[in-house]
Amino acid sequence: MYAFLYHAHRDWRYVVLLAAALLLVRAVIGLLAGRKWLVWDKRSALFYAIAMDIQTLFGLVLFFFHRRWSDHRYLEHAVTMLIALGLAHVIKKRVQKAQGDAAKFRQALIFTVASLAFVLIGIWRLSGKLP
């Protein structure tokens, strides 16, 4: 059971990074091209949040199931990833409140970069290297 969850958590990070890259590319292109916020932009933000939800679920099960809370590296990793998850979910609300398409792309870009920064910090704090 542990091996399955560990490998699922380890390998799912690539889905998270792919979803983040998709959202970043759509936000940058939308901002630079001045295009309208489309349903696919909304879906890419949703895909990133869902990918983060699944990754966090795997991670929390590993964290609590194997009692990793005594090691400060695992605790720091969990906290930074929960912050990243929160930022991934903030994207939807910030985009909804933004006035105009450029503002929507700007909010998506800012909060995706912030969330991804916390993901990378969390990985770095746990392993000492970036993916």
Quick: pLDDT tens for 47-66.
999 999 999 999 989 888 87
**pLDDT on residue 69:** 64
Question: What's the chain's length in residues?
Answer: 131
Measured in whole angstroms, how far is the alpha carbon of residue 123 from the centre of its chain?
Answer: 12
User: Would you kindly state where each structural domain of the chain is located, as residue ranges?
Assistant: 2-127
pTM, to two decimals: 0.90
Estimate to the nearest angstrom the gap between the alpha carbon of 98 and the chain centroid. 20
Residue pair 123/130 in contact by the 8 Å Cβ criterion: yes
Q: Nearest-5° angle of CA 113, CA 116, CA 117?
A: 85
Residue pLDDT, tens place only, 30-42? 999 999 999 999 9
pLDDT at 29 over 90: yes
Exposure on the CB side of residue 36, measured as CA atoms within 13 A: 2
pLDDT over threshold 80, residue 71: no
Evaluated on CA atoms 107, 111, 116, 121, the torsion sign reads positive
Q: How far apart are alpha carbons 48 and 19 in whole angstroms?
A: 5
Range 95-119 average pLDDT: 95
DSSP 3-state of 38: coil
Tens-digit pLDDT profile for residues 2-21: 889 889 999 999 999 999 99
